[in-house]
Structure 1
Amino acid sequence: MKKIILFGFLFTALCGYSQKKAIQAQVTSQYISIDGKLDEPAWENAPIASDFIMLEPDNGKSIPFEKRTEVKVLYNNDAIYIGAMMYDDEPSKILKEISQRDNFGTADLFGVFINGFNDGQQDFMFYVSAADVQGDCIMTDANGEDYSWDAVWISKAAVKENGWVVEIKIPYSALRFSAENKQTWGINFFREVKRDRFKYTWNFIDSKIGTFTQQAGTLEGIENIKPPTRLFLMPYASYYLNAADGQKTYGTLKGGMDIKYGINDAFTIDAILIPDFGQTKYDDQILNLGPFEQQFNENRAFFTEGTDLFSKGNMFYSRRIGGAPSTEPSLNENEEIIELPSAVNLVNALKVSGRTKNGLGIGVLNAVTEKTFAGIRDTITGESRREIVEPLTNYNVLVLDQRFRKNSSVTFINTNVSRNGHFRDANVTGLAWDLNTKANTYSLFGNTKYSFINDVEDKKGFYSTISLAETSGNYRYSIGSDFVTKDYDPNDLGINFYTNYYNFYGNANYRILNPTKKFNTFRINYNMYTEFNKESGKLQDNSINANLNLTTVKNNYYGTGITFYPLEIYDYYEPRAENRYVTIPRKIETWGSISTNYNHKFAIDLNGTFNVFDESERITYGFDIGPRYRFSDKLLLTYFFSYLRKNNNKGYIDQIDADDNGNTPNEIIFANRNVITYSNTLGGKYAVNSAMTINLSVRQYWSYADNKNILLLEPDGDLNPYPQYTTNKNSSFYSWNADLSFSWWFAPGSQLSALYRNNASNFERIIDKDFKHNVSGLLNNDALKHIFSVSVKYFIDYNAVKNKLGKRA
């Protein structure tokens, strides 16, 4: 009998977890002041959402009574209102570090997740910290949280005697929903108690299931509202003052506008009329000795905000738009380049994106860059001329993404680059799929892509990948394979380094789903990877890896791993020549990592690596150390030092091509070298309040490659001494970047920002190993540039303007 009662209790509990909770929104005609007080009469009688359940670390555990959370929902013709009370028996311990928008730092957090179509596909997430800092993002199971999306909404948080409270107003223009008279939305509420690192949700989210957005509750009771006209204008004005030693100081005034327009309840047009990216974060350049270009992060808001659709199939690399010219000028005898732009100016850009109620996502992105010239001068006559290095160019991306069963999708992607005139054009078409079982326990992922290059000689290439994975439970695994032809080339609007291979890979892992007496999280991974050159069949890569990652109950992170490369492999990329390869010896790589709890005022990150090759004295080792100290809720300083040393590293430095008579052999020159890299990064934040912050970012970088002796690459992949080569091919690159910025969100969606930046970089063949002299020399030479800029962006909502004009009339 006891067993029957126990089974009945467990069954009831499980059914309770599997059912979606529902809350009724209450209509109001009262004016709701967003002041964090919840003292309007309309709040008193509104239904309450309570009984939160732990998401992490002890998934499924009920929230304790002393931390109970109560949420109410109101609405009127213009907006939805959220009122939340987070009770806390120790309010003095509520963490409330003030930080920048979308970066919550060390602070308690409340969030509301809304899906206006209740289809489990995409959540609009709105967060408020106990320090009254806003954050918002778009969440999909496929791409996670995209914090580049920014909405305009109002909130206020305040710490009380018995906890803390949040009041939120979200205009309908910040959401997406249908035009039906009776609305049923997907909704969930979130709370994080930061000092414990405990996370709770109102509707239970089972971590055993590989989905988040499909486990929301429902919001009912909203009736007779209409999707508003979503027209937003964001005019801006900016002023730049540029100065450099030995050069004339000059100022530049710019102005323009960004436009957002909702075509209907699902689709939005974003347009840049006159671009201005002068205040974007600098790129962390490195000494790049490898065969491939350095890949940079995208820091321009237009190309990061709401671009989850365009990331499908991994075919779009937005830094191609407005990047370096695609060609180099042709020089005649006695000519030199006197001007070569490092980037191409963007004329305008437009994107349309959204998803229908039937799950069809459509994304179109189009951008145009201007004709760009290089300046060339005859060194004898002094005559100069200009040559086109990038013609007028159109970039276009089209994405059609059909989601079904709330957890699966099939996607068509096409990228196209059309250059005016006789320059190279490119087109890449892909089909991607992400299929999951109804219970989200297994997934089948893959894509196939075809590239076509229209140039002097046309090229066609093919890429395909497929993988199968178990995605639920303590034990999980995945297996997969890739196949890439030699001429696959998506690099006009994408980025891809490796071609002409096929591979096989697998992963098996174990994780705990609930904390133990010692660990909050614990995961062991085992990985295997094998890759072959498609034409020769030679082994290009072969590795066996095991790694462990865990978080203790005190929320300190530890990780370690080891990778074996048990066989010699053949690198077809480093020689930079067709059908040539260099032999890479067997090796072992190890790493370790520690990150202490950021809740403490002082925390530190430590990372170490050690690699040893099956070759005399060839080793690589390095470490990173990153202390951080939070002086107060307003002031935070971070520092990060990185050191890496490669002893007896073997790498390409030059190539001697055959002459017209065939008298000189095609020789590929390598060097046996020591490569040493130092990097110092200092960061700081002072928050005047939740809308006004001062930020500091400084990076000093120095890396050099000191060639010990020269080597000739033999046809069989071996390297032999080659003393005949005497050209100095040492490399030394050092750079300095410093940003001091002030940001003030003076009105919803409106920002004033001021930035002082100085930067310099230098590349030399002569290596000066005096660290102090290198840094001071870089800061004192003519290459140091200074930029001061001020930018004001003002947000104009068509609905607000229309309502104000209507009231005046």
Structure 2
Amino acid sequence: MRNPTHFLTALLFSSICFSQEGNSTEVQQDTTEIVPKKIYVTKAIENEEPPSVDGLLNDEAWGLVEWTGDYIENQPDENTPPSYQTKFKIVYDSKNLYIGVRCYDAEPDKIIRRMSRRDGFEGDWVEFNIDSYHDKRTAFSFTVTAAGVKGDEFVSNNGNNWDGSWNPIWYTKTNIDDEGWTAELKIPLSQLKFSGAENQVWGLQSTRRFFRAEERSLWQRKPIDQPGWVSEFGELHGLRNMEPQKQLEIQPYTVASGETYEAEEGNPFRDGSDTDIAVGLDAKIGITNDLTLDLTVNPDFGQVEADPSAIALDGFQIFFREQRPFFVENKNIFDFNVSQSEAGNTFGFDNVFYSRRIGRSPQGFPDTNDGDFVDIPDNTQILGAAKFSGKTKNGWAIGVLESVTAKKYATIANDGDRRREVVEPLTNYFVGRAQKDFNERNSFIGGIFTATNRADLTQNLNFLHESAYTGGLDFKHQWNNRDWYLGGNIILSHVQGSEEAITHTQNSITRLFQRIDADHVEVDEGRTSLTGTGGNLQIGKVGNGHWRFESGGTWRSPELELNDIGFQRQADDIRHYTWVGYQTLKPDSTFRRVGINYNHWSAWDFAGNHNELRFNTNTWQNWANNWFSNIGFNYAPVQFSNFALRGGPRLRRTPEVSFWNSIGTDGRKKLRFNFFHNGRRALDNSIRRYSVEFGFRYQPIDALRISVFPEYSINNDKLQYIDNIDTDLGIRYLNGEIEQRTLSMSVRFNFNINPNLTVQYWGQPFISRGRYSNFKHVDNATARNFEDRFLQYEANQVTFSDDNYAIDENLDGVTDFSFGDPDFSFVQFRSNLVLRWEYIPGSEVFLVWSQDVSQSGNPSEGLFTSLGDNILGQTPQNIFLLKATYRFVL
């Protein structure tokens, strides 16, 4: 199956035939309920004073309009009266939109006022979603809790994406009285996007969370089985002569930092402490009311929480989520997932744009000699970045990102002499993204283009691409009231560089062209470019009834390369997937909601080798007492890996079974427990893995929350890759039996003095230890029986001395090859303590203390012993930051 076209054409044909048959049935049995749209008519404030935002609802301006209410329950029992009603009013003037809301409650002393940071959504709250373009796909969400904590999110893709990094400037206050609680919201029009039409209609929705019953009620009813969110909003009328506001905000910052660590004798770069002071600037400029230009100069992300510790033995890169505010905001516009699906198991993290490539750790390492001390920067400095993004009233979603990262040097010192070598070149990153809605917002078509260009690559950096370009097209079409959809994308990548760079790309674990039994690919050491394709095609049903499904196919050609500015785990893959799900729509005496799913996946490479077949069934439950649980099972009768031997032959993996299961107690309780475990076992016992995580969250008072989650995992694999070694007897694909144990614990502490002054702590001790034995080399990689796939070395063939193993394979008294002791013990402790004070809306002070201890432990010791020896009593790396920002709104 060298060409995926025939496979995907057949898949699409069968899927369309299935959808047409299913759609015919749906038309004949269509029970889609038409829910009338509610309309609220607002008025402008002309002669009255605007409401003062104090939460009391006693201003004369509120008398201009009528109350609206009649909320209807959405969860857990859709289309029934809620426990208590809610009502609101909306007025506006030339600069602001004002919302006053009353949440009735017969027992006001029981209203839950849990504190949190912004976007915490704890306790009782009420939310307003405003589709000010009335495009039925995007909205601005404003939430206020009974404790007065603000939450705000940008909603896109008709409710499938909620971006909590959007932090507009707005104002709110709450109050509790004998009838329940009230809130007032003041939203500057500069924070919204809308057209310049004389008379406007906006989409409007409001949600109330009644905490004691874990109940959601809506102003505009939305049936559970109705797909979409923004498209189902009610309408806000009465908006006249409103002038779109151009946003202009400038936010300079200053950060002072100090670092302490254990001094290293003789090392001029590790004298025990460093200090620094830096300044930078962020700006948000409204080019039009639709489109915003975000700028950052010398950005600082020191207050961002560190990544959790992780070790991967399969050789593939680990995906970490983006946490830096500049890149997170409006991230949804730039997303271009290669093959995300409801079924999963399709490398769903793969994305044409992965912002963590910008500002990454330097990729090079200098040439050194004995006695050299080296200082390499932890990250590549972002000199500046600009992001132009937004959604127009005509249905265009536009995103353009341009960033330049600095040339970075390593400094090498030896006996007073110093020299510098480049470890990261000056690099320019560009991303352009556009989507256009049409067909009454039921369809869209879009595209993306990315470019990475590196300047003046030195000899030690010639493994990097000089340039990398990616282009892609995507589309989605929905019909039958958005119950059905057909979507997909196609991607083209092209990288250029030296012969060394392209050879390195061909040999990388993402593609492994040097595989000895792969006759459809080969390494060409004379190439200076590589061009590949990828894509995804899927069809599904998500609404109108209990049943849902999705089926599709995805491919990545052997030459596809996205990792200069994207994220891609592997190439040379063609994959089919199908998901079918059933969900309940009404609660009963046992469950609030239940879902049951079936999935299967099948994968081939471009030579037509069938590499995987996997079946899954799983179910999730929301119990009547508001506990949550799920359980799932996998069976994989066919498993081969092109990557396990890192360029060696395709390796058969034994059929296996696996499971996962989790249980969570009622999230409303002050003390909540969660338990999760999963396991995997080969039918011949060649692989045994098990992981368990158990922890609690405790909130003794509204202002304080503590959580502790320890995790322990076991990995026993009788065929764990070690190395490929070229010997006089031929290449030995060296493997061993590993016994790996990993122990970690995530601890969080959140203290909220008030909604704008918070203290947060996160800490994680981590240890992973691996011990190897029973060394062997693979000589019959696709043999059906596990023991026939390799030759295991006997005790008289193996000698261990000075941390090295020597192998005398033919027992002639001469060492045939040797290798270093692969046993490992990695110990790490990371923590962040952050005090955040938003002293005026949009302006903040951060005080940060970060710690890091990273050590190599003794693999022969126990986990707790090694953890204690390498963390307790060690001198940690301490980083102290004081960062202050001021947000000018012009």
Identify the residue that residue 365 of structure 1 maps to in structure 2: 401
- Once the two structures are TM-superposed, the CA of residue 206 in structure 1 deviates from its matched residue by 2.3
Query: 1:467–1:481: 8 Å Cα contact kept in structure 2?
Result: yes
- 1:387 positional shift: 2.6
Residue of structure 1 equivalent to 2:748:
683
What does residue 83 of structure 1 align with?
A: 100
Q: 1:690 to 1:766 in 2, by over 3 A?
A: same
Gaps of 5+ in 2: 1-29, 264-270, 338-350, 458-463, 499-527, 783-788, 799-806, 808-817
| Aligned partner letter, 2:174 | A
Equivalent position amino acid for 2:436 in 1: Q
Deviations 1:691-717 (A, max 9, x none): 111111111111111102222122535
Cα displacement (A) at 1:475: 0.7
Question: Is 1:654 aligned to residue 723 of structure 2?
Answer: yes
Q: CA deviation at 1:383?
A: 6.1
Amino acid at match of 2:165: S
Rounded Cα–Cα distance in structure 2 between residues aligned with 1:728 and 1:208: 57
Query: Are residues 1:768 and 2:861 paired?
Result: yes
The answer to whether the Cα contact below 8 Å between 2:470 and 2:492 also exists between their aligned partners in 1 is yes
**Alpha-carbon offset, residue 374 of structure 1:** 3.0
TM-align CA RMSD = 2.1
CA distance in structure 1 between the aligned counterparts of 2:840 and 2:778, rounded to whole angstroms: 63
Corresponding residue for residue 319 of structure 1: 356
- What is the 5 A alignment of 1:574-723? 574-577=644-647, 580-616=649-685, 618-657=687-726, 663=728, 665-714=730-779, 716-717=781-782, 718-722=789-793, 723=798
In 2, the alpha carbon distance for the partners of 1:344 and 1:649 equals: 40
* CA deviation string 1:193-224 (max 9, x = no partner): 11211111111122222110011111111222
AA matched with 2:435: D
Q: Contact 1:25–1:47 (CA<8 Å) still a contact in 2?
A: no
Whole-angstrom distance in 1 between the partners of 2:42 and 2:824:
67
Match of 1:239 in 2: 256
Q: Say if 2:430 is the partner of 1:396.
A: yes
Taking a change above 3 Å as real, the CA distance of residues 324 and 649 of structure 1, as seen in their structure-2 partners, is farther
Residue 335 of structure 1: how far off its partner (Å): 8.9
**Offset of residue 557 of structure 1:** 0.3
**Contact conserved, 1:23 with 1:49, CA < 8 A, in 2?**
no
SS at match of 1:771: helix
- Aligned residue number for residue 212 of structure 1: 229
Confirm whether residue 139 of structure 1 aligns to residue 155 of structure 2: yes
The aligned amino acid for 2:453 is S
Deviations 1:270-313 (CA, angstroms, capped at 9, x unpaired): 00022111111101121221211122121110000112110134
- Preserved contact between residue 50 and residue 61 of structure 2 (Cα < 8 Å): no
* Contact 1:395 1:493 survives alignment (8 Å): yes
Which residue is 1:785 aligned to?
877
Select 1:30's aligned residue among 42, 45, 49: 49
3-state secondary structure, aligned to 2:140: strand
1:515 correspondence with 2:549? no
The CA deviation string for residues 634-654 of structure 1, in whole angstroms up to 9 with x for no partner, is: 111110010110123532222
Alignment equivalent of 1:420, drawn from 455, 468, 472: 455
Instruction: Give the Cα–Cα distance (whole angstroms) in 2 for the partners of residues 327 and 112 of structure 1.
Output: 49
Match for residue 40 of structure 1 among 46, 59, 67? 59
Partner of 2:16: none
Measured in 2, the distance between the counterparts of 1:517 and 1:361 equals: 45
Which residue of the partner structure matches residue 552 of structure 1? 623
1:666 Cα offset (Å):
2.8
Q: Which of 471, 486, 494 is the aligned partner of 1:429?
A: 471
Name the structure 2 match of 1:454: 496
What TM-score do you get using the length of structure 1 for normalisation?
0.92
2:642 match: 572
Give yes or no for the alignment of 1:439 onto 2:464: no
What is the distance in 2 between the residues matched to 1:238 and 1:324?
21
Tell me how far apart the structure 2 counterparts of residues 715 and 335 of structure 1 sit (CA, whole Å). 45
Q: CA deviation at 1:539?
A: 2.7
**Residue number among 813, 822, 825 corresponding to 1:732 in the alignment:** 825
Alignment of 1:478-493 (within 5 A): 478-493=550-565
> SS of the counterpart of 1:152?
coil
The aligned counterpart of 2:22 is none
The alpha-carbon distance between structure 1 residues 317 and 770, as it changes in their structure 2 partners (threshold 3 A), is closer
Kindly indicate whether residue 313 of structure 2 is the aligned counterpart of residue 289 of structure 1.
yes
SS at match of 2:217: strand
Report SS of the residue matched to 1:788: strand
Deviation for aligned residue 1:747:
0.8
Which of 256, 273, 277 is 1:253 aligned to? Answer: 277
The answer on 1:758 being equivalent to 2:851 is yes
> What residue is the counterpart of 2:598 in the other structure?
526
Distance 1:764 1:434, change over 3 A: farther
- SS of the residue corresponding to residue 777 of structure 1 reads helix
Instruction: Write the letter of the residue equivalent to 2:138.
Output: Q
User: Which whole-Å CA distance do the structure 2 matches of 1:638 and 1:463 have between them?
Assistant: 42
**Distance in 2, Cα, partners of 1:756 & 1:333:** 36
Contact between 1:37 and 1:167, CA under 8 Å: does it hold in 2?
yes
- Answer yes or no: is 1:50 the counterpart of 2:69: yes
**Amino acid across the alignment from 1:321:** I
The one-letter amino acid of 1:183's match is Q
Q: State the secondary structure of the residue aligned to 2:643.
A: coil
Deviation at 1:70, TM superposition (A): 0.9
- What does residue 795 of structure 1 align with? 887
Contact 2:256 2:276 in 1 (8 A): yes
- Whether the aligned pair in 1 keeps the contact of 2:37 and 2:233 (CA below 8 Å) is no
> Matched residues in 1 for 2:549 and 2:712: separation?
35
Residue matched to 1:59: 78
Matches of 2:661 and 2:619 in 1, distance apart?
9
Structure 1: distance between partners of 2:356 and 2:209: 36
In the TM superposition, residue 74 of structure 1 has moved relative to its aligned partner by 1.1
Pairing 1:748–2:819 present: no
Matching residue's letter, 2:221: F
Cα drift, residue 115 of structure 1: 1.5
Of stretches 762-771 and 683-692 in structure 1, the one that deviates more from structure 2 is 762-771
1:683 deviation in Å? 0.8
* Corresponding position of 2:442: 407
Q: Secondary structure at the match of 1:287?
A: coil
| Cα offset, 1:772, TM superposition | 3.7
**Counterpart Cα distance in 1 of 2:879 and 2:418:** 30
Aligned partner letter, 1:419: R
SS in 1 for 2:871: helix
SS at match of 1:312: coil
With over 3 angstroms needed to count, the CA separation of the structure-2 counterparts of 1:364 and 1:647, relative to structure 1, is: same
SS at match of 1:493: coil
Q: Is the 8 A contact 2:837 2:846 kept in 1?
A: yes
Q: 1:72 aligns with which of 89, 92, 97?
A: 89
- CA positional deviation for 1:770: 4.9
Question: Which of 519, 525, 539 matches 1:468?
Answer: 539
Displacement after TM superposition at 1:20 (Å): 3.7
Deviates more, 1:160-169 or 1:234-243: 234-243
Aligned partner letter, 1:406: R
In structure 2, what residue type is equivalent to 1:496?
Q
Q: Deviations over 1:347-390 (max 9, x none)?
A: 11110001221101111001100012234578xx9965433222
| Alpha carbons 2:380, 2:408 under 8 Å: kept | yes
In structure 2, what is the equivalent of residue 198 of structure 1? 215
What is the rounded CA distance, in whole Å, between the counterparts of 1:312 and 1:726 in structure 2?
A: 43
| Structure 1 position 71, deviation (Å) | 0.4
**The residue matched to 1:43 in structure 2 has which SS?**
helix
Aligned position for 1:125: 141
Q: Which moved more, 1:77-86 or 1:743-752?
A: 743-752
Please tell me the residue identity of whatever aligns with 2:262. D
Q: How big is the shift at 1:146?
A: 0.8
Shift of 1:730: 0.9
